[in-house]
Amino acid sequence: MTSSTPATSATVSARISPELTPDSLLDLSTRKIAAIHVEDFYPKDMARRVVKSAMTHEALGTYRKELASSVGRIHTPHVDTAWDPELTDAYHRQAVHAVHDVRSMFHPYLSPIDHLRLLLQEFWPTGANLLRLNGRTCFVGALRVFTPGASQLLPHNDRLYQETDAPEARRLTEQITANVYLQVPETGGDLHLWLREPDQAETERILAVEGLDPGTIEPPALTIHPRAGDLIMFSSSMLHAVSPSPFEPRVGMAAFIGSRGANYPLVFWS
């Protein structure tokens, strides 16, 4: 199965926009820029309060993926349902409850992802909506906890059509990751971006063992160290990785954003 992209890897700019605007969002979706990095997107005092709740939340579990099993997440993201009908059914049945449960952790304020959802609806030419796969609602707003000493997230990419045969997934031409960081250690937790998609052999390797050996590929084109409260958005279709945090946990809230071009609404999910 293949999916087109709006630009080839060779044309990707290494430029990072410091703000989220209609223009920067369009530029990111067409790979005219490498990332959007908005500092202080979310108040640090609110972030600190939610971190405490996240570390002890009753729905805190770990990813099914072997190499990400040391990374905690609150509620089940779609990637953990891949090709499993029972898990997929449970994911959709619990989606609205999961959205409301995570939102309640930030009450009476907007969660970072709810804030981002509103901006996407306002900034994108045709708006933005919660993704529905085969007509069923998706969860959005996963909280993730990287515990101290957690394994590095190896170089990999994320594409929804590799998890489901839903027609809505196959129509997407670009997939973007949005991360809002609630707590970041001083050492580790760096985001590495390669600004290219994996080739066929690398894709097969990623699907088989969840990531590439960093020693087998070139160094990343960009390395970003986020701070608490920052928003970073980049193409998840291209290779990316996260360095381990040896001493302190790293906590953030994440969503995927799918595009079919400016003539169609964006969709978002976790």
18-77: pLDDT as tens digits: 999 999 999 999 999 999 999 999 999 999 999 989 988 998 887 765 445 567 899 999
How many CB atoms are located within 10 Å of the residue 9 CB?
Answer: 17
Length of the chain: 270
Q: What is the pLDDT of residues 89-105, one digit of tens each?
A: 999 999 999 999 999 99
The residue extents of the domains of the chain are: 28-269
Residues 244, 191: Cα–Cα separation, whole Å: 10
Backbone dihedral region for residue 24 (phi beyond 0: left; psi -120 to 50: alpha; all else: beta) = alpha
Q: Where are the alpha helices (DSSP H) in the chain?
A: 22-29, 44-55, 85-104, 112-123, 167-170, 200-209
**What three-state secondary structure class fits 11?**
helix
Which residues make beta-bridge pairs with 170? none
Residues 182, 45: Cα–Cα separation, whole Å: 9
Q: Which residue has the tokens 């369009």?
A: 26
Q: What is the pLDDT of residues 108-132, one digit of tens each?
A: 999 999 999 999 999 999 999 999 9
Mean pLDDT of the chain: 91
Residues 51, 42: Cα–Cα separation, whole Å: 13
CATH class of 28-269: mainly beta
In this structure, are residues 38 and 234 in contact, taking their beta carbons and an 8 Å threshold? no
Give phi and psi for 155, each to the nearest 5: -55, 125
pTM for the whole thing? 0.92
